[in-house]
Amino acid sequence: MNSAVVIFLAGLIYVSLYHTYGKALQNKVVKADPNRPTPAHRLYDGVDYVPAHPLVLYGHHFASIAGAGPIVGPAVAMAWGWLPGLLWVWFGNVFIGAVHDYLALMSSVRYDGKSIQWIAGKLMSKRTSMAFELYVWFALLLVIAAFAAVIAGIFVNTPGAATASILFLLIAVLLGWLLYKVQIDFKIGTIIGIILLALAIYIGFKFPIVASKQVWYVFLGLYIIVASSLPVWVLLQPRDYLNAYILWFGLILGGVAFLIVGLKGMGTFTAPAYTTWSAHVVGGKPSPFWPTIPLVIACGALSGFHSLVGSGTSSKQLDNELHGLLVGYGGMFTEGFLSTIVISSIAVYGIKVFQDAGVVINFQNWAQIYAPMVASKIGKVTIFSKSYAYGLHDAFGIDVKLGTLFASLWVSAFALTSLDTATRLGRFAWQEVIEMIKGPEILKNKWIASAILVVFGIGLAWVGKWLVIWPAFSGMNQMLASIAMMTASLWVAKIQRPAGAWKWAVVIPALFLWVTVTAALAWFLIYVGKENIWVSLITIIGLALNFLLVIDWYHAWKKPAEEYQAATA
């Protein structure tokens, strides 16, 4: 296979389906109305409810949902070969992930920007809402553990990315002040931000910050407590807006680069297309592709975390209902294209990166050593960033070290965004649980609520094994996706009532995902769970809550549509 063919096919799939399937969802299922006031306008508070420019919101939404997921997951899944991972990314992206993201966002918009957990409680029962909130809190705990481990690893392996990332945060705060307080022209602010961003990359290249992984864990813990408590305009909106430029620059540069190397005859895939059904992936154990693939590839194909972002922060900032398609549906397609570039780059240059690290890998030992070596010696992000950098070098002559730094900043910027967004969402879930049980007011304090989540999450990353934490996070995350889709299916079937068979476009993927992920988590507990008792305990709690939620969904599904209240907007 040639990288140019894969990149071209991906572009064709995503562009054509956005304008056909996506528009059909917008018009026939959601019935989006540009004249219906969104919560950002009706409930404006200057903190969480703030209307945003569609590109700014797209940047925030994409940067928050992307994180390291669409890069790390496909990179590790290469243990099965490039073809199985690529097919799962495209299939999951089109039929599950994008539908899930868009409906989670728009159902929240119709319910005053309430969370998907709150909507589940409204459509099913109060018990459902409580179970969902608890499930979300535990899932976000694993999100923080997994992403903190990824970022600390990037900063240790590529110290220049640490310098650039810290400077990037300061630049974002400056841009927020310029745009919202000084109120300078939007285009001038954008130009200033981009110039400073390029300067940050150069400074990072010249002055890397070298520190241990433990030091970075402490830094990350303090950072996300502060960042998740600030008003969204101070850091979240301007940082994610700038992130969008890093994203687009990286995507266009990478897409064009792998088209060029393909046309030059240098883009032939050297990695195997398929290795074995049970490559050594999850916990380093032989892992059957089905059902364990969703434990490895999270955000690139589908992700329940996206429903929390869509119904947690994005829905409160949507300026117009028609912007939802770009933000929710387009954001997920962009992730799929990013994962396609990741798979293509490693398929072409992965063996070369292994050789750089002194590891001999070939078609015979690929399935056994690929994932364990990536997790330990090569680096989960390094395997991508170096492969990507080799592509830039062969296409444009860009220095490999500079290309590696840029790719590492790319990943760390998104992972940092996901990290503090996850903390903010975890705080929301915690506060809603305390509210439901009438707990002490002090536990609802935003600093205390954030700190409790962060202490457990960072602590888990500190002591955990990455190949155990990542699949546990992914499993809980994908289970969350199926529960969110089931909630969305009730909203579609009982409230929206689309014509024809459109409700099945949500129900069938939700049920398929529920069966797959439940089986995968059961497999995980049996074969890998003993590696970390705390991760196993969280997984068991998640499975128990998952069964409770699906029972509530079944009872709600049987009720006639007339028993449901109309949407609030």
- Quote the pLDDT of residue 464: 67
Which of 20, 31, 29, 19 minimizes the C-alpha distance to 322? 31
Sign of torsion over alpha carbons 538, 540, 542, 545: negative
Q: How far apart are CA 131 and CA 121, in angstroms?
A: 9
Per-residue confidence band for 382, with pLDDT thresholds at 50, 70 and 90: confident
Beta bridge pairs of residue 52: 318
What number is the average pLDDT over the span 186-204? 88
- Quote the pLDDT of residue 258: 93
Q: Which residues contact 54 (CB under 8 A, 6 or more apart)?
A: 319, 320, 323, 326, 327
- Quote the pLDDT of residue 185: 87
Residue type, 56: V
pTM: 0.86
Q: How far apart are CA 199 and CA 180, in angstroms?
A: 23
- Quote the pLDDT of residue 568: 45
What number is the average pLDDT over the span 172-181? 87
Tens of pLDDT, residues 519-531: 998 998 888 877 7
- Quote the pLDDT of residue 565: 56
Tens of pLDDT, residues 36-63: 999 999 999 887 798 988 988 887 788 7
What number is the average pLDDT over the span 145-152? 87
- Quote the pLDDT of residue 424: 85
Per-residue confidence band for 306, with pLDDT thresholds at 50, 70 and 90: very high
The full length of the chain comes to 569
- Is 60 exceeded by the pLDDT of residue 567? no
Tens of pLDDT, residues 311-346: 988 999 999 999 999 999 999 999 999 999 999 999
Per-residue confidence band for 569, with pLDDT thresholds at 50, 70 and 90: very low
Tens of pLDDT, residues 451-467: 999 998 898 888 766 66
Buried (b) or exposed (e) across 19-36, using 16+ Cβ within 10 A?
eebbeebbeebbebeeee
Long-range Cβ contact pairs of 40-44 (< 8 A, separation 24 or more): 40/113, 40/316, 40/317, 40/318, 40/319, 41/319, 42/112, 43/112, 43/113, 43/316
Q: How far apart are CA 298 and CA 470, in angstroms?
A: 9
- Quote the pLDDT of residue 69: 79
What number is the average pLDDT over the span 233-260? 85
